C-alpha cells in the first residue's frame, strides 16, 4: 500500500463520509468500485486495453447498481448493444 499522508487520508475519509451522507449511508461509488474491482491506480501502467477494461467495469457496475433505471443503463450501453426498433416483417405471398 502506498504511503499517504495523514492529511490526505483525513481528506479522503471526509469526502467518503460526505458521499455516504448524500447517498443515504451507502458507501461512495469510488469506495464500492475499489472494493469490487481494485484501485485503478494499482492496475499498473495505463494502456488502451486497461482503459477500455476499466470503462467496461464501470458500465457493468452501473448496470448492476442501477438496474431499476433502464433508460440510464441503455444510455450507457455501446450503440451496437442497444436493441434496434422492431420493424414489420415482410409477408411472403
Claim to verify: residue 10 and residue 24 sit in the same structural domain: yes
75 and 47 part of one domain: yes
* Residues 32, 59 share a domain: no
Residue 10 sits in the same domain as residue 33:
yes
The answer to pTM > 0.85 is no
Give residue 58's domain range: 43-80
| 53, part of any domain | yes
pLDDT at residue 89 tops 60: no
Q: What is the pLDDT of residues 52-85, one digit of tens each?
A: 666 666 776 676 766 666 555 555 555 555 555 5
Could you tell me if 1 and 32 lie in one domain? yes
16-54 residues labelled b (16+ CB within 10 A) or e (exposed):
eeebeeeeeeeebeeeebeeeeeebeeeeeeeeeeeeee
Amino acid at each position: 500500500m502506498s504511503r499517504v499522508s495523514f492529511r490526505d487520508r483525513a481528506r479522503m475519509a471526509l469526502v467518503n463520509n460526505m458521499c455516504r451522507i448524500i447517498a443515504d449511508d451507502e458507501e461512495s461509488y469510488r469506495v464500492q468500485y475499489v472494493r469490487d474491482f481494485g484501485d485503478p491506480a494499482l492496475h499498473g501502467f495505463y494502456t488502451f486495453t486497461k482503459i477500455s477494461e476499466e470503462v467496461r467495469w464501470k458500465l457493468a457496475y452501473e448496470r448492476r447498481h442501477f438496474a431499476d433505471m433502464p433508460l440510464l443503463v441503455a444510455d450507457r450501453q455501446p450503440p451496437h448493444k442497444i436493441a434496434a426498433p422492431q420493424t414489420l416483417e415482410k409477408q411472403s405471398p
